[in-house]
Amino acid sequence: MSDLKTPPTRTAKAAGATADYLDQRTGIGGAVKFFARKVFPDHWSFFLGEIALYSFVTLLISGVFLTLFFVPSMAETHYEGPWPSMNGVEMSEAMASTLRLSFEVRGGLLMRQIHHWAALIFMASIVVHMMRVFFTGAFRKPREINWVVGFVLMILGLAAGFSGYSLPDDVLSGNGLRITDGVVKAIPILGSFLSYFVFGGEFPGHDLIPRLFTVHILLVPGLILALVGLHLFLMVMHKHTQYPGSGRTNSNVVGFPALPAYAGKLMFNLFVVFGVIALMAGTMSINPVWNYGPYDPSPVSAGAQPDWYMLFLEGALRLMPGQTEFMIGQYTLSLNVLIPAMIVPGILFTLLAAYPFIEAFATGDKNEHHVLDRPRNRPFRTAFGVSLLVAFAILVLAGSNDLIATHFHLSINDITWAFRVLLFVGPWLSFVITKRVCLGLQRKDRELVLHGHETGRIVRYASGEYIEVHKPLDAHERWLRVQHEAVRPLEIEPAEDSRGVRRKGYRTDRLRQRLSQVFYEDRVEPVTPAELAAAHAAHGGHADHEIDASHTPVQVGAGSTTDPASETTPDGRNR
């Protein structure tokens, strides 16, 4: 048998020569080596961010196809085509090209629906990914900037979705634009001027569709691409966060290298996401504009809802009472539009974007964090996040109050008032319940660490004493429940020093202390090593019996007892 190696093929030689050429001119070999050795933790929730990325890739691919056939013009035309109910109907070129794209371009309807479903999944995955980051505290130092980048990506996603579904110029999108016009005009003093600027004249104008088209295919995607690149760069630079567990610290990452394990998973997930979106587009119809017809400002019907990610604004507008307009000189102050459409969302979005900085200010924590929190260990943060989600869900349902009324034969006025009450009661109640649940789970963790798992086994000693046997936690399970830091309200120096001079910066310190009390006044301390040793000592002689099943006390089962002195051996003799 020959020991000579098989000579490389022409393909291998060409690949090697190409790689060498690129490496000498770009240094790509070092980058490939770095990323190949980069370790990523493995957890299903990290897939949520990947779904957003792959959905965006799907949006870009399908969007390029649609751009080739869509006509972004508001010029009037009469439709003639294979959809008979629309023949001879006057509509804009944008609407007519959408119909031609749906019925005359091969694969056009499929690509339209892929694009729309991908947009919905893109926004859903961004929101769920941000929820995972929020509840686990992945936004803490050094990732505050990356949280803000992700927040801006969510806002850009809203802008992309709104500008996208407004392009067909059908009745549904036209009603959304009419609401937008009303919101813009509600801005004091500048409203009418801004409306003329946006629409190119009195609503609906003649310039909006071309402008939205430019925003949708050029401005917003370019910004999203740039921020996605920045988001991924910061993630790699800071290394990936990981869930708590034994062996996982702020100075290491437990997981798999990028090549080949993680790269294979990334490619598999890409094809799964694209396949699911294509399956949905091929089997589930969405946005059938031919059923709505071209936009006409006169008809407004029930069931005109925007996509889900904009529905909370619709719900806020529907819940706001209409008797809140005031005349200030020659100007009308429309609080019934300003408060639900601009002020309340502005406050909520600002709080969401600034939350990492608010929490850091409240804790005074300046350390880096690479191990995630268990949501139960941060009761205030978890309860606050749940209350925001409950408020969002109530507003989404309120945006469909007409559909609820027509489908369940209920009074729309009663539904509206019920949602108004829920909007104030629901978030508060969910906050209280969630906080209590988190504190209860923390107490349960303390109980498990100190006493172990209940086994349902009752034993009796010769002295007549009964005890329940507990199964101690192993080291991994115990570490999961005790590794988190005990965060307490801040203690500050007195307002005046020993000479009675008021200390500079006391007001800021007092504000920070009050805020930290709101965050961490209600808490459950994790078990300390001293407490664990004291608990084992308190069990006395029972501690060994909880671990050693061969001790004289024997299992009697739940609800029954046996005296060890009378128990017989397998051969029938007494012990």
Tokens describing residue 560: 């029954």
Per-residue pLDDT band at 69 (split at 50, 70, 90): very high
Return d(Cα 137, Cα 132) in angstroms, integer: 8
pLDDT of residue 4: 58
Least confident segment among 25-39, 67-81, 357-371: 25-39
For 217-230, how does the pLDDT look when each residue is reduced to its tens digit (9 = 90+)? 999 999 999 999 99
Question: What φ, ψ does residue 194 adopt, rounded to 5°?
Answer: -65, -40
Q: Is 76 helix (H, G, I), strand (E, B) or coil?
A: strand
pLDDT of residue 174: 87
Triad 346, 347, 350: Cα angle to 5° = 85
Return d(Cα 262, Cα 210) in angstroms, integer: 42
CB contact at 8 A, 244 and 252? no
pLDDT of residue 505: 79
CB contact at 8 A, 115 and 101? no
Per-residue pLDDT band at 14 (split at 50, 70, 90): confident
572: pLDDT strictly greater than 60: no
CB contact at 8 A, 133 and 385? no
pLDDT of residue 224: 96
Per-residue pLDDT band at 460 (split at 50, 70, 90): confident
Provide mean pLDDT across the span 555-567.
42
For 297-321, how does the pLDDT look when each residue is reduced to its tens digit (9 = 90+)? 777 767 778 889 999 999 999 999 8
Beta strands (DSSP E) in 30-140 are 39-40, 76-78, 90-92
pLDDT of residue 544: 45
Per-residue pLDDT band at 146 (split at 50, 70, 90): very high
Tokens describing residue 2: 């020959």
Per-residue pLDDT band at 489 (split at 50, 70, 90): confident
Least confident segment among 154-168, 261-275, 496-510: 496-510
Domains annotated for the chain, with CATH where assigned, are: 46-297 (1.20.810.10), 374-495+504-540 (no CATH)
Instruction: Please indicate whether residue 52 or residue 365 has the higher confidence score (pLDDT).
Output: 52
Tokens describing residue 438: 């988190």
Per-residue pLDDT band at 63 (split at 50, 70, 90): very high
Return d(Cα 293, Cα 84) in angstroms, integer: 12
pLDDT of residue 5: 67
What is the amino acid identity at position 516?
A: S
For 512-547, how does the pLDDT look when each residue is reduced to its tens digit (9 = 90+)? 888 888 888 888 888 888 888 887 776 654 544 444
551: pLDDT strictly greater than 80: no
Per-residue pLDDT band at 138 (split at 50, 70, 90): very high
Return d(Cα 537, Cα 534) in angstroms, integer: 5
What is the amino acid identity at position 322?
A: G
My answer on whether omega of the bond before 379 falls inside 30° of 0, hence cis, is: no
For 374-403, how does the pLDDT look when each residue is reduced to its tens digit (9 = 90+)? 999 999 999 999 999 999 999 999 999 999
- Tell me what percent of the residues of the chain surpass a pLDDT of 70: 92
Return d(Cα 266, Cα 274) in angstroms, integer: 12
Beta strands (DSSP E) in 265-340 are 325-328, 331-334
Return d(Cα 559, Cα 575) in angstroms, integer: 24
3-state helix, strand, coil in the chain (%, to 5): 60, 5, 30
573: pLDDT strictly greater than 60: no
Return d(Cα 328, Cα 559) in angstroms, integer: 78
pLDDT of residue 471: 85
pLDDT of residue 564: 39
Instruction: Please indicate whether residue 424 or residue 570 has the higher confidence score (pLDDT).
Output: 424
566: pLDDT strictly greater than 80: no
Instruction: Please indicate whether residue 552 or residue 25 has the higher confidence score (pLDDT).
Output: 25
Beta strands (DSSP E) in 21-74 are 39-40
pLDDT of residue 128: 95
Average pLDDT, rounded, for the chain = 85
For 413-443, how does the pLDDT look when each residue is reduced to its tens digit (9 = 90+)? 999 999 999 999 999 999 999 999 999 999 9
pLDDT of residue 550: 40
For 322-372, how does the pLDDT look when each residue is reduced to its tens digit (9 = 90+)? 777 777 777 778 888 888 998 889 988 999 999 999 999 988 888 899 999
For 244-273, how does the pLDDT look when each residue is reduced to its tens digit (9 = 90+)? 988 888 888 888 887 777 888 888 999 999
Which residues have CB under 8 Å from 70's CB, separation 6+? 94, 97, 98, 101, 167, 213
392 C-beta neighbours (distance < 10 Å), count: 17
Least confident segment among 73-82, 263-272, 465-474, 544-553: 544-553
pLDDT of residue 469: 83
For 114-135, how does the pLDDT look when each residue is reduced to its tens digit (9 = 90+)? 999 999 999 999 999 999 999 9
